[in-house]
Chains A and B, each alone.
Chain A
Amino acid sequence: MIAGSGRSETAARPFTSGSRRALLGKALRRRELSALVAAVAIFILFWIVAEPFRTWQAMGTVLYQSATIGLMAVSVSLLMIGGEFDLSSGVAVVTAAMVTSVLSVTLGLNLFVGMALALGVSILIGVFNGWLVTRTGIPSFLITLSALFMLFGINLGLTKLVTKAVSTPNVAVVPGVDLIQTFFAYRLQFGGAGGPQFSILILWWLVFVGIATYVLLRTRLGNWILASGGNPASARAVGVPTKRVKIGLFAFVGFSAWFYAMHQLAGYNTVQAGSGYGNEFLYIIAAVVGGCALTGGAGSAIGSAIGALIYGMTVQGIVYAGWDPNWFRFFLGLMLLLAVLLNLNVKRMTAKM
């Protein structure tokens, strides 16, 4: 890679390097900026075409929809910046919810003990994924694809075994559930029934984004995450423990899956064992649309939040506009394609130097 970069800097360089440098700098900043511009454009579009979109109620719903993807997209984007990705992140949420409810409803354990054990399981799944990927060198695509189907099977199989049905045991009557409802699923209601409603999940999403941004930009760990994805061999050569960094990132995805699972349990008391499948792509799309490079080394938590916001606005905006919701998927694919093409541009420009 460097040899190639060196070869190109011969006679032509003095004339082009300045402008090429400026271009790359611009392109790198453009990754989040263009997502933000897209988000603003989408907001304006739906503001114009969909009257219900202009209400505070709609804002509450849009933000909530965004948070349901955005919370997980934070850890997924950090993992991608670190050079890996996790296809099991969608079903891992359901696994965490299932473990909690089976332990505390079916086995009658204390709810908080059940939650703690589920947290342990979630983090272990992440660590196991990360350990396998870093240990074997097999692409995370294959390792986590295997994990996706294993967890998917366990979620359905175990739930059916325990409840003879496909939804996890109902936690509504378990002692202590009111506490986790307040913490994970509180809804701030304005102006009585029918008024705008803001879920506490939005707040937690923003907290996740804030912490991840701080870690990424202001701590040594953040430096190590960027380097582990940007050039793992180089990072190792200067003493960065890239394997531990990556395993830690997989574990953080596990933690986030648990956190989001607790929101689902707290908000809806039960979770469909067959759900979650497919959401991993939404998290990845949010991260990529927000500027994360699939190859690692670039991206931000804020970008993933913008990506999630685009998701939330579109999924709700299409409903408010009265369009056929099926177009939503087309739109999501198009956004992803545009983002990927943009990132490719950046990648090419760096490769040329």
Chain B
Amino acid sequence: MTTPALSPPIIEMIDIAKDYGHIRALEGVSIAVRSGEVTCVLGDNGAGKSSMIKIMSGLHQADSGVMKVNGVETRFDSPRDALRAGIATVYQDLAVVDLMETWRNFFLGSELRKSTPVLRPLDIEAMRTITAEELGKLGIHLDSVDQPLGTLSGGERQSVAIARAVYFGAKVLILDEPTAALGVKQSGIVLRYVAKARESGVAVVFITHNPHHAFLIGDHFAVLSLGRMSLNARRDEITIDQLINEMAGGSELAILAQQLARGTVPTSA
């Protein structure tokens, strides 16, 4: 794992633990996130994926362990701190407003304004042009950027949210289950865009419970299970079957396979 070709990590988590009351959500979790790579974090529901990214994105704070950003020990007190450090999170709900025009969504919270001293009106032309350009780069061509964002498909909306984060200077992009609610075609749109973000040098943290999606795009895989890391491997160190196996909880899957083979489970369609 310490191949000399690897760049120094932009985020490094070392031996992180997090408790909620007396429930241990994370224990001994260590991971390195690098620029120009897609780091996939996999795990079943409740495995600790969200706790981990919430610590990375400043929403929660670790109870013990160290987080380094660009080699410097850091502790984010709020998502704003993380944003300032260039770490943007795109949650499943995307932080978009469906009824508003696409360009208004793209620039929401970071609106461009004309320099006219008194009223400082919006620079609508510039925002519309940039939105069309940035979406064009993802291969999303709208009839008009005035379309309410709610009229775009799920994959397109996801991509708009990602494009927005990248456009506003995210160095680390945390994607929370971006493909979970999408069909195959729509997932393809999102995965292609994740690949583009990686090519532009962004460090992508891709949270998913779909090992197939992860293996399509990932450079580095971490599997969480009951708050601990059960796998931490680079792409050339594992196969998709290993990943699926690890994801499904290894031995549990073996037992299930056995049961199914013996026909003890009814095979109703």
**Do A234 and B148 form a contact, CB below 8 Å, given A6-B182, A9-B183?**
no
A10 at the interface (CB under 8 A from B): yes
Measured in the bound complex, the distance between the Cα atoms of B186 and A222 in whole Å is: 32
Contacts of A1 in B (CB 8 A): 93
Contacts of A293 in B (CB 8 A): 99
B233 at the interface (CB under 8 A from A): no
Measured in the bound complex, the distance between the Cα atoms of B180 and A3 in whole Å is: 8
Q: When the two chains form their complex, are residues B150 and A235 in contact, meaning their CB atoms are under 8 A apart?
A: no
The stretch of A51-59, A117-125, A225-233, A302-310 that contacts the partner chain: A225-233
A17 at the interface (CB under 8 A from B): yes
A161 at the interface (CB under 8 A from B): no
Q: When the two chains form their complex, are residues B120 and A297 in contact, meaning their CB atoms are under 8 A apart?
A: no
Q: Is chain A's interface secondary structure helix, strand, loop, or mixed overall? A: helix
A249 at the interface (CB under 8 A from B): no
Measured between C-beta atoms, what is the minimum distance from A300 to chain B in Å?
12
A28 at the interface (CB under 8 A from B): yes
**Do A3 and B92 form a contact, CB below 8 Å, given A9-B182, A231-B97, A238-B109?**
yes
Residues of B in contact with A, size category: 35 or more
Q: When the two chains form their complex, are residues A298 and B99 in contact, meaning their CB atoms are under 8 A apart?
A: yes
Q: Binary interface profile of A, 209-251, with partner B (CB < 8 Å = 1, else 0)?
A: 0000010001110110011001101110111100000000000
Q: When the two chains form their complex, are residues A25 and B147 in contact, meaning their CB atoms are under 8 A apart?
A: yes
Measured between C-beta atoms, what is the minimum distance from B85 to chain A in Å?
15
Contacts of B95 in A (CB 8 A): 231, 233-235, 237-238
Contacts of B107 in A (CB 8 A): 223
> Which residue of A has the minimal Cβ distance to B121?
A218
**Do A25 and B151 form a contact, CB below 8 Å, given A223-B122, A235-B108?**
yes
Contacts of A350 in B (CB 8 A): 98-99, 148, 150
Among candidates A14, A28, A231, residue contacting B148 with C-beta atoms closer than 8 Å = A28
Measured in the bound complex, the distance between the Cα atoms of B167 and A234 in whole Å is: 18
* Interface positions of B from 28 to 43, Cβ below 8 Å from A: none
B153 at the interface (CB under 8 A from A): yes
Measured in the bound complex, the distance between the Cα atoms of B181 and A20 in whole Å is: 20
* Interface positions of B from 69 to 88, Cβ below 8 Å from A: 79-80
B100 at the interface (CB under 8 A from A): yes
Among candidates A13, A238, A297, residue contacting B153 with C-beta atoms closer than 8 Å = A13
Measured in the bound complex, the distance between the Cα atoms of B35 and A291 in whole Å is: 48
> Which residue of A has the minimal Cβ distance to B154?
A6
Measured between C-beta atoms, what is the minimum distance from A214 to chain B in Å?
8
Q: When the two chains form their complex, are residues A17 and B111 in contact, meaning their CB atoms are under 8 A apart?
A: no
B260 at the interface (CB under 8 A from A): no
> Which residue of B has the minimal Cβ distance to A237?
B95
Q: When the two chains form their complex, are residues B120 and A230 in contact, meaning their CB atoms are under 8 A apart?
A: no
Q: When the two chains form their complex, are residues B122 and A218 in contact, meaning their CB atoms are under 8 A apart?
A: yes
Contacts of A13 in B (CB 8 A): 153, 183
Q: When the two chains form their complex, are residues B148 and A9 in contact, meaning their CB atoms are under 8 A apart?
A: no
Measured in the bound complex, the distance between the Cα atoms of B142 and A17 in whole Å is: 13
A146 at the interface (CB under 8 A from B): no
Q: When the two chains form their complex, are residues A230 and B109 in contact, meaning their CB atoms are under 8 A apart?
A: no
Q: When the two chains form their complex, are residues B183 and A11 in contact, meaning their CB atoms are under 8 A apart?
A: yes
A353 at the interface (CB under 8 A from B): yes
**Do A24 and B151 form a contact, CB below 8 Å, given A6-B181, A7-B181, A9-B182?**
yes
Q: When the two chains form their complex, are residues A234 and B92 in contact, meaning their CB atoms are under 8 A apart?
A: no
B119 at the interface (CB under 8 A from A): yes
From A10, A24, A238, residue with most partner B Cβ within 10 Å: A238
B10 at the interface (CB under 8 A from A): no
Q: When the two chains form their complex, are residues B148 and A220 in contact, meaning their CB atoms are under 8 A apart?
A: no
Contacts of B104 in A (CB 8 A): 223, 226-227
> Which residue of B has the minimal Cβ distance to A9?
B154
A21 at the interface (CB under 8 A from B): yes
Q: When the two chains form their complex, are residues B124 and A223 in contact, meaning their CB atoms are under 8 A apart?
A: no
Measured in the bound complex, the distance between the Cα atoms of B157 and A210 in whole Å is: 33
Q: Binary interface profile of A, 153-165, with partner B (CB < 8 Å = 1, else 0)?
A: 0000000000000
Contacts of A238 in B (CB 8 A): 95, 108-110
Measured in the bound complex, the distance between the Cα atoms of B71 and A228 in whole Å is: 38
Contacts of B92 in A (CB 8 A): 2-3
Measured in the bound complex, the distance between the Cα atoms of B93 and A174 in whole Å is: 59
Measured between C-beta atoms, what is the minimum distance from B211 to chain A in Å?
20
Measured between C-beta atoms, what is the minimum distance from A222 to chain B in Å?
8
Pull 5 A–B residue pairs with CB atoms less than 8 Å apart, ordered by A.
A17-B153, A219-B122, A226-B99, A234-B94, A237-B95
In the complex, besides A2-B94, A28-B148, A235-B97, 8 extra interface pairs with C-beta distance below 8 angstroms are A6-B180, A6-B181, A219-B119, A223-B100, A234-B94, A238-B108, A239-B110, A297-B97
Interface residues of A (CB under 8 A from B): 1-3, 5-7, 9-11, 13-14, 17, 20-21, 24-25, 28, 214, 218-220, 222-223, 226-227, 230-231, 233-235, 237-240, 293, 297-298, 350, 353
Interface residues of B (CB under 8 A from A): 79-80, 91-100, 104, 107-111, 113, 119-122, 124, 147-148, 150-155, 157, 180-183, 185-186
The 7 closest A-B pairs by CB, nearest first: A6-B181, A238-B109, A230-B97, A239-B109, A237-B95, A234-B95, A6-B154
